[in-house]
Amino acid sequence: MTNTPRVGVVGAGSLGFHHIRILRDLPGLAFSGFVESRPERSREVEKELKVKSHSTLDGLLEVSDAVIIVVPTSAHFSVASAAIERGKHVFIEKPIATTLEEADALLELARAKGVMVQVGHIERFNRAVRAALPHVKSPRFIDSERLAPFSPRGSDVAVVLDLMIHDIDLLLTLVGSEARDISAVGVPVLTPMLDIANARVTFDSGAVANITSSRISRERKRKIRIFQQSGYLSLDLAAGTGDFFRLRSDIDPLTIRSAPADILAFVDRIKLDAPDGELESFVAALRGKGPIVVTGDEGRMALGVALRIVKEIERTLPSLVGRTLHHA
C-alpha cells in the first residue's frame, strides 16, 4: 500500500453518509467512492456530496485498499469476508458480526490474508472517555445509562447489540478484565426484538457494572459513572465532557467524619476533555502511523458479552427465543 491509502464506504444510509462526508475531505487518503444497494439513495448521495458511486461491491473493492462497512448487522459477515478475501483492510461498524462463529471466521480470514480489522465502537474515541482513561485505576463499580428515542435504524437486532454493546466495549476497556457473571432482564415493546434491557455484570477483577439501554425513551442520555478508591468519575458521553472528583492529598479522611460539609471542600474537581477522531485513527493505522484502536479481537469480546446478555434475557423471557436471532 502507498502512503496514501484508497478508502471507500459500503453503505450510504444515515451513518454511511456521515462517513462518506468525513472521508471525502480527510487528508492522508484518497477517497475511492461508495456503493449503496438502493439506486435512488446512491444517486441522492452522489449528487449531494459530489462523490463517485459504484454499482457493485466488486467495483468499489477493485479501486480500494480499505473499506468502511456501514451496512445492516446481518450483512456484516458477507461484505467483510468478501473484502478481506481480496486483501482489503476493513473498518466494520459495531457489532463486528451477528454470531461468534461469524466473528471468528472473519478474524481467521484476516490473519490469513494479513489485513487489518477495526471495529466501530465509536465511544472509545469520545472526548470524555479519552480524557478519563488516564485517571481510571481499578474501578469497583460502574453505572452506565444509554437512552434514545425509537429509530428504525438498528431495530433489526436487539437493543443489546444496537446500543448496549457500546457500553459493553467501554466496560471491558475500563475494567481491564473479562466478564464472569451476568444477570439481565429486558422486554420487546415496539419491535419483536428487545427494545429495553438492563444487565448486571461481575468481572474477574471483582468489579461490578450496571448497564441500562433503551431505544424507546422520550429523551436522549449517554452517561457513565465510575467509582474507585478515593475517586469518582462522571462522564457525559453525549456532550463529550466529564469530571473527576478525587480526595485532596492534604485531607485526612478521618477529619471528614467530624462535621457535615460540602463535598467540594474535600475533593479536587478535574474537568475532563480531549480530542476525538475515529476514522482518522483507522487511516493512521493504514499508513503505519498509529495502532488499531479497537481491534477485531476486542470487537469479538464485546460481541461475546452482548450475546451472553441476550441469552440470559431469553432464559427469563422464553417468548423471545427464536426472535432475537442471536445466540452465544
Model confidence over 158-181: pLDDT tens digits? Answer: 899 999 999 999 999 999 999 999
Span 80-107, average pLDDT: 97
C-alpha 294/C-alpha 290 separation (Å) is: 12
- The full length of the chain comes to 328
Q: For residue 60, what pLDDT is reported?
A: 98
C-alpha 254/C-alpha 53 separation (Å) is: 67
Please give the share of the chain, as a percent, with pLDDT higher than 70.
91
Closest by CA to 304, choosing from 58, 15, 5, 101, is: 101
Q: Regarding predicted confidence, which is higher, 183 or 261?
A: 183
Q: For residue 154, what pLDDT is reported?
A: 66
Residue 147 vs residues 94, 197, 323: alpha-carbon distances, Å: 18, 10, 22
273-302: per-residue pLDDT in tens? 777 677 889 999 999 988 998 999 999 999
Cell of 262: 460540602
Q: For residue 269, what pLDDT is reported?
A: 87
Q: Is the confidence at residue 322, as pLDDT, over 70?
A: no
Q: Is the confidence at residue 328, as pLDDT, over 60?
A: no
Q: For residue 220, what pLDDT is reported?
A: 93
Span 299-321, average pLDDT: 88
- ∠ CA 113-117-122, nearest 5°, is 175
Q: For residue 61, what pLDDT is reported?
A: 98
Rounding to the nearest 10 degrees, give the CA dihedral for residues 112, 115, 119, 124. Answer: 120
